[in-house]
Structure 1
Amino acid sequence: MKSALVVEDIESMAESMTRSLQAVFPDIQVRTAATLASAIQQVNDLLPDIILLDLGLPDGRGSNLLLHRAINEKVWVVITTIFDDDEHLFEALRLGAKGYLLKDDAGDVFNSALAGILEGKPPLSAGIAQRILQTFRPSAQESDLTPREHELLGLVARGYSVQRAAGELGITYNTAASYLKNVYQKLEVNSRAEATRKAIQLGLV
């Protein structure tokens, strides 16, 4: 890493991030920008190898910088923000951010995350990494359903009565009713309509 741009409107935070970059990449040249307009100008003047990008800037959303035509896959754009919600996180990742660090992770934790770039590791705050994993992991309730319960849920969601679903699955009415009761408990639903919505979410309908 030879050059960096810190896009941050709080001066003390920009100085802290500059020190972190210099500690991890000793020979790096660091520029700073306090606004989106200034950041765009800095990118136009000299495309940096790494950009630490705040999302809340005085003149616009920091994520708009990710749309700049000059920023390509070789540039490490790492979001540095206080926002830890899904909306900000996944918008930034969809636009091409290669990392997402919370400003609370100052000091050694922040530096260690940046150092991972040298090994090709995306810098992610621990809480952010967990949020990303959770998004693609079935909930405990959903994953608790047995294959038979999945099948029964799919049939009920298609409008089958319990009796008809039992016949389709080759089981007794009482067994099917027991399965359905388990499904309701595991998914924490109380009606066929709620169960149907869950079945749609699970891709069973």
Structure 2
Amino acid sequence: MIKIGIVEDENSVRENLQLFLNAQPNMEVVITAASVEDFLEMDEEIKEINTLLLDIRLPGMSGLEGIRPIKNISADLNILILSAYDDSDRIFKALCAGAVSYISKRSELSKIKEAIEAVHKGGAYMSPSIARKVITHFAPKPKTDLLTPRQSQIVQGLVDGLSYKLIADKYLISVETVRDHIKKIYKKLHVNSKAEVIRKKMDGEI
């Protein structure tokens, strides 16, 4: 049996969820609350549930802020964020804090049921729109052209083990010009040594 808790401040949403989930043969809503603070006061009941639907925007402590104290009471509790917000920042903060799924409030009740069942079986579930944001976030980012062509040549010279003088001779510029470019390269790459520049080049970061 999937034993569920719901933390949602909108009465109609909370009651509709409770009614729908209690109608499922494999689910039972054990506790409901309108705020994280009210929910945390029911620590004994919290230990009886294995799944929690948690809204983000709540009076007092937000759902995001509530994840950790809730996990302190029941470390194995599956927390599914149910929210009207689908911006990347909130999604990743929730997942990093310990939530296992993030579902849009716009999802149909059948999809919420599907998410609860998936999580109960050890999986994870995200609304399609949110899943796309996660994929986009982790997709390889194109490297930006941080350095000018001349600065790139100087970096390659460092990788090849050339001294400032040899780099200057190779590109027909003065040693002082090389030093000036090196300072600008350090600033752009947020580094303080040739070794760090070479590492970034070898790692494909520039």
Same fold (TM over 0.5): yes
Judged with a 3 Å threshold, the aligned counterparts in structure 2 of structure 1 residues 118 and 2 are, in CA distance, closer, same or farther, namely: closer
Judged with a 3 Å threshold, the aligned counterparts in structure 2 of structure 1 residues 127 and 56 are, in CA distance, closer, same or farther, namely: same
Unaligned runs of 5+ in 2: 161-183, 190-199
Matched, 1:15 2:15: yes
Partner of 2:111: 109
Q: Which runs of 4+ in 1 moved over 6 A?
A: none
- Whether the 8 Å contact between 1:18 and 1:30 is mirrored in structure 2 is no
Partner of 1:70: 73
What is the 5 A alignment of 1:36-75?
36-47=36-47, 48-68=49-69, 69-72=72-75, 74-75=76-77
- The 2-side partners of 1:159 and 1:22 are apart by 68
CA distances 1:123-173 after superposition (whole Å, capped 9, x unpaired): 21111111111111124x55xx9xxxxxxx68x46963659969x89xxxx
SS of 2:151's equivalent in the other structure is: coil
Matched, 1:124 2:115: no
Q: Kindly, what percent of the aligned residue pairs are identical?
A: 22
TM-score, normalising length from structure 1?
Answer: 0.67
Structure possessing the higher radius of gyration over alpha carbons: 2
Q: 1:160 aligns with which of 151, 158, 161?
A: 151
- Whether the 8 Å contact between 2:78 and 2:120 is mirrored in structure 1 is no
Match of 2:41, as an amino acid?
Q
What's the Cα RMSD here? 3.4
Match of 1:113, as an amino acid?
A
- Whether the 8 Å contact between 2:21 and 2:29 is mirrored in structure 1 is no
Deviation at 1:60, TM superposition (A): 1.9
- The 2-side partners of 1:134 and 1:161 are apart by 29
